[in-house]
Amino acid sequence: MAGEVQRYIAVIGDMVRSRDLPSAERGTVQKQFAELIKSLNREYRKKLVSKFVITLGDEFQGLLSTVTLIPDLIWRLEENFPERKLRVGIGLGPLDTPIQKFAINIDGPALHTARAAIETAKKTDTLGGVFNGFGQLDEVLNGIARLLWFHRSRWTLAQRKIADLLRRGMPQSEVAEQLEIKRQVVSKQVSALGWSPYIGAESAWRIILQNYADSLIGAKNDLSQAR
């Protein structure tokens, strides 16, 4: 469409209270943080416009080609970086600077909306992702994100392990075998962690992201620079 504005999905994440880390632990955590970002770039390379990059020691940012990646990204961050909680701000908007292979030395409304989302997360002590710049969808996307986080925050470590395997599509019988626990235990835990309503809500979130939020991006993004 002539005159269509190209918008991008910007993601900014930061560690919660990273400055509270003892000096002896900070180096180790920073190394683990760097490894996490490298793994995200490998795993999601086909869905990145600009690769994730650490910007301020305890922050990272990147540009996505699709907002439908967010549920998996947030899950990954929580599961693979237990050392510190991570806030995530998701913004939508155009760029004022050229796209780079890595999301550094870029600027524009996409980054500004993501930054505003992170600031909101800090002020309200919100985890699980904050959306900004999607218009009326902000309230819908943030509402579902809050419900899902509320649910996850009450799971035990054992329940999270079960949920992670179920989310990958593994049957309960195989979950029991992999975790070396009885099937009855898995069945009880599945009921206790409320898996059916949780995955139903996440599926609804994905549908909204795919069918409505993604349509706001505009012209198809060029991923050639990110590969």
With respect to residue 80, please indicate whether it lies within any of the assigned structural domains.
yes
- Host domain of residue 72: 8-134
On the question of pLDDT at 222 being above 60, the answer is: no
On the question of pLDDT at 82 being above 90, the answer is: no
With respect to residue 45, please indicate whether it lies within any of the assigned structural domains.
yes
Q: What is the mean pLDDT of the chain?
A: 91
With respect to residue 154, please indicate whether it lies within any of the assigned structural domains.
no
Domain at 49, CATH number: 3.30.70.1230
Rounded Cα distance between 164 and 162, Å, is 5
Give 85's contacts (C-beta < 8 A, 6+ positions apart): 15, 16, 127
DSSP states of 92-121 as a string? EE--SS---SBS-S--SHHHHHHHHHHHHH
- Over residues 179-198, the mean pLDDT reads 96
* Span 25-67, pLDDT tens digits: 888 888 999 999 999 999 999 999 999 999 987 899 999 999 9
With respect to residue 64, please indicate whether it lies within any of the assigned structural domains.
yes
Say how many domains are in the chain.
1
**Lowest-pLDDT range, 33-37, 67-71, 82-86, 215-219?**
215-219
On the question of pLDDT at 225 being above 80, the answer is: no
On the question of pLDDT at 166 being above 90, the answer is: yes
* Span 134-163, pLDDT tens digits: 999 999 999 999 999 999 999 999 999 999
pTM: 0.91
Higher pLDDT, 4 or 39: 39
Give 73's contacts (C-beta < 8 A, 6+ positions apart): 11, 40, 44, 88
Contact (CB, 8 A) for 141 and 213: yes
* Span 100-129, pLDDT tens digits: 999 999 999 999 999 999 999 999 999 999
With respect to residue 94, please indicate whether it lies within any of the assigned structural domains.
yes
Q: What is the pLDDT of residue 187?
A: 96
- First-to-last C-alpha distance (Å) of the chain: 27
With respect to residue 74, please indicate whether it lies within any of the assigned structural domains.
yes
With respect to residue 36, please indicate whether it lies within any of the assigned structural domains.
yes
With respect to residue 156, please indicate whether it lies within any of the assigned structural domains.
no
